[in-house]
Structure 1
Amino acid sequence: MPKWSAKDKRQYEHIQDSELKSGSSEDEAAEIAARTVNKQRRKEGRTPNKTTQGTGNPNTPLSDRTVNELRNMASELKIDGRSKMNKAELVKAIRQKS
């Protein structure tokens, strides 16, 4: 479990209890509570959203970067339609634009 504050722990327990009372299983209740607390922590900027940050190592070839990294690069280059592009299309568009 991540390093949560006392407030985070209380929120987790409250959500978990609420989910259990509404009929969720223990595993489901724990997962919902953890996701909710982590979402709130991300929203408040207390934890990074690692899946959408950065453009990768600049020394790495474009074809070796993740789709998220390529989309972030495409965003910086203001390439239209990037959200619907696959990896190959993103690489091609970035090469054309830069």
Structure 2
Amino acid sequence: MPAGSTPKRERQYEHIKDSQKERGASDRRAKEIASRTVNKERARSGESGQASKTSTQDKKSAYRRGGERSHQGAQGPTKDQLYQEARKKNIGGRSSMNKDELRKALGR
């Protein structure tokens, strides 16, 4: 935790870190997730000296968003990821579909 953190942020950090450990994250990864989440919350509430635009203008807080943006880089999920999802949902004709067709068949 950064110097000058409030007791509330300290508790929040410990709670997130413990939750991540319970989910099976390594100690290092749990600390990283906790510190990133707390730092973003600090930025959103004006407690930090510097803040990125995404930290201050994002509509949802990190813990509410909960992985919503996972696998959505510049182009979204790969064709293989879409194919595997279509396979799990038993979508017929998936082997001959291209990425856009897979995306439409999955309702994305």
Instruction: Give the TM-score normalised by the residue count of structure 1.
Output: 0.49
